[in-house]
Amino acid sequence: MKKRSFLQSAALLAAASTFSLAQAQTLTPIKFQLDWRFEGPSALFLQPVAKGTFKAAGLDVAVDAGNGSGGAVQRVASGTYDMGFADLAAVMEFHANNPDAQNKPVAVMMVYNNTPASVMALKKSGITKPADLAGKKLGAPVFDAGRRAFPIFQKANGIGAVTWTAMDPPLRETMLVRGDVDAITGFTFTSLLNLEARGAKASDVVVLPYADFGVKLYGNVIIASPKLIKENPAAIKAFLSAFAKGAKEVMANPAASIEHVKARDGIVNVPLETRRLQLAIDTVINSPDARAEGFGQAKPGRLSLMASQVSDAFNTKTRVNADDVWNGSFLPPAAELNTVLPKK
């Protein structure tokens, strides 16, 4: 009897292993490129991986850290990655500067309904409003989204000429604290917290968010490769539906989701990244514009305006065609998306 029981158990284990292997083999692999390193906002993607939300949707998603939106767009365009996360302006710029490229990534879901870009200064500079920036020295890396879009902010607020100082990203906030520049551009939830880490008090920092001063640029979007769009549109739909479920969970409990960020980068500062995630949720994900338009969605008129502004500000080779950079056909139903944003 013992032998028979052992054989039966062995057979069951073998069958279970075979079933698990079969399940694993049916998962569609998705290589996903983030726009930046593993920080608070990356929990939006890391949690549904860790909790099996993507796997339940039939996907085997691998998320890698990035080094900028431009890089994320390039890697998806090259076919190295299937999907990614990038500033919509960077996607538009790639399309307009590479009109003959065969593999131009397409935005398929809005995540940051407003650009996170802002101008930041210390109160001691005397800068309190956009007009005060005229004649000042601003600093940012040359590829910074806020710096690239500054002409739009400048035009919207009638700001006079400014001068720019370029630096590597780690030096941006340090140079502001030292007084080497009068103001910087950057993502609010990145630079504000970095300034605090360098000794500045939040109460001493003046923040001029682009979205609050006449600039309605969209921010980061989920992008997909034309190859994936053509060959496996169902995988994109499954990804976006699973992402929406994961995003809802993250926004319901941001603090708990940071453990998944720390699992990918053990040296992250948990309290700091929790604050960064919450700041991102409050300013660009669950913003008034996002609530008005609906999570994940984009409005044609606003897209067209942004396409025109990016064409001018970035001095692209050709004009941006909004219809070429956005495809909302893979989004979950509006009823499903409407439950994502937490109530305010």
Q: How far apart are CA 289 and CA 283, in angstroms?
A: 10
Helix (H, G, I), strand (E, B) or coil at 121: strand
User: How far is it, in rounded angstroms, from Cα 227 to Cα 232?
Assistant: 8
CA torsion through residues 175, 179, 180, 182, sign = positive
278: helix, coil or strand?
helix
Query: Cα dihedral angle (99, 104, 107, 108), rounded to 10 degrees?
Result: 130
Any idea what DSSP says for residue 333? P
The predicted structure's pLDDT at residue 25? 62
What is the rounded CA–CA span in Å between residue 110 and residue 297? 6
CATH topology of domain 117-212: D-Maltodextrin-Binding Protein; domain 2 (3.40.190)
Reported pTM? 0.90
Q: Where are the domains of the chain?
A: 29-113+218-337, 117-212
Strand partners, 326: 107
| pLDDT at 4 (0 to 100) | 52
Phi-psi region of 253 (alpha: psi -120 to 50; beta: other; left: phi over 0): beta
Q: How far apart are CA 289 and CA 110, in angstroms?
A: 12
Per-residue pLDDT, 142:
93
CATH number (3.40.630.10, 3.40.50.12280, 3.30.1490.100, 3.40.190.10) of 29-113+218-337 reads 3.40.190.10
**Residue 260 and residue 45 in contact, taking contact as beta carbons nearer than 8 Å:** no
pLDDT of residue 18: 41
Determine how many CB atoms are found less than 10 A away from the CB of residue 114: 22
How far is Cα 276 from Cα 271, in angstroms, rounded to an integer? Answer: 9
Kindly write down the DSSP assignment for every residue of 279-323, as one continuous string: HHIIIIIS-HHHHHH-TB---HHHHHHHHHHHHHHTT-SS---HH
Cα 247 from Cα 2, distance rounded (Å): 50
Evaluate whether 29-113+218-337 and 117-212 have a shared fold. Answer: yes
At residue 238, the pLDDT reads 98
- The order of strands in the sheet holding 183-187 is 163-165, 137-139, 183-187, 117-122, 205-209
Which residue numbers in the chain have pLDDT < 70? 1-25
Which residues are registered as beta bridge partners of 117? 187
Measured between alpha carbons, how far is 173 from 232 in angstroms, rounded to an integer? 43
What are the E-state strand segments in the chain? 28-33, 59-64, 83-87, 106-110, 117-122, 137-139, 163-165, 183-187, 205-209, 220-224
What pLDDT sits at residue 19? 41
Query: Cα separations (Å) of 248 from 94, 113, 279, 286?
Result: 31, 15, 16, 11
